[in-house]
Structure 1
């Protein structure tokens, strides 16, 4: 039983956090409203609305709650993503395509690490951007940022990455269906290409279903396979930063973050059939809202002027990673005989 003093302390903590959490949720609601009524990416809207409200992260009643949402609510949202993953889902596409997706993820991150040196960027920035491009856009960026060592540029780099992958996903949502049509892909192959290359889930769905029902369902399935790689990649990144001298400054992350354990537990429960469909849908929806509120809070915490300081090299890096992934997947589809 909790003692009276502990209950009072928890109550005081909740009251201190409430204003900032509520502001983050309201921004998420506004972003979702705009997304549903004007076909705009919800993540991008939450980010831009958050940036416009940057003054709320200055000392005042909302600062603690905004920080809590940007950090703790983010981790909860990433953990609940695991409820969308299962072994059956992973195996349904065949080993050849799974190998291509795994290889594409690893190769894109390695490409980012190598390409970053050309522009004088450190390995943390390279892993953050390349991981977001290779796996699942803004969600992956936030999960990876949560385990990387932190410094005074961490939030700026995260905000840039989320903004970059969201904008590139939106561009890809428009251009990739045109590209697949020009290449003569049928609906299934077009769906595979879109699911394997577009960064954010929402834009994958938009691009796929703009072609056909079959392309939309295929692209969504392939995208979820990429999402399932988030857990293993974050584990490897965590272990690499604990055991490798990178030359970057910052505190080492914990061995295995709690939110990642949650992700793997949810994925395991779903694979064992212990999460009913209705509960899985609730968890997926809750995860989406948690991540939306978290990115709104990240926007509020970051000064846009600092984001713009990343320079043209950072933009070239994330665009280069995007083009590399698209070219690699396209070549892989021909090598496997899926296309052509």
Structure 2
């Protein structure tokens, strides 16, 4: 399997993608390059990014060995790793065979939030939560904050839809001592053409789906044509789920969104019941893309793995936070003591 490391054309140092400048930066001479300049200076990477020569990729999901192009060390990765770092020389490398041929993404959404900004937001968020153990945001833990490109399937298209339901409106009035209620029933029909874009579904089985998808939505208008250079300096995973695994789920989500959109135009009814929806597909499209997420994991004293994730474009966060039992016990004791003292004082003055 070909392994690519982007090199600075000025000094030969490693190039990594910088979210703040949206350029490729050399960590040694601090030179910056556009995507086109970085690809031109690394012809092997340019060829791999184009997908012109699809590399053979096995379906085996087991460990795969690769040789670091910088120090020659042989390392192992699991079957879905597409970009990583050499354990010995820490150079960023891209396993091009994992993102070529049938696994070549059509688009990628580059990181817009730098690691420094992600760490700053992480610390600001967790330090507001008084019951989180300090180990969760220790220096060693901060070093685990990682930028990862996760594989997604995007779905969208153009649809004609008809919506029918029974709507009710109720009017209540009083006349003397009597209260009257009038309920009117209407046949509600709505229809039209609906355009949907950017319904996203994670395409990696081992990912914590609830967490990874909870940082959506992404601004898909900012998707860029895929280039391997965007992976340099980050981790990346290739997909191991094809769209047919969750097609029905996506279609159900599509129909629900279409129904909600048509219901919103139905007018002011107290209730809409017996709804029927018919959807005709004019055009639908699936796209394989990579989306950015900042992640950190933590193993608690209860041996449970806690996850924290941040949308690498918008900064939206989601997490499963541990609780420091000692802090919780201390606060409970203090609260109990305050209540006890107040009760004593109340009894004394009575």
TM band (smaller chain): under 0.3
TM-score, reference length from structure 1: 0.22
TM-score, reference length from structure 2: 0.22
The structure showing larger relative contact order (alpha-carbon pairs under 8 Å, at least 6 residues apart) is: 1
Higher strand share: 2
Higher helix share: 1
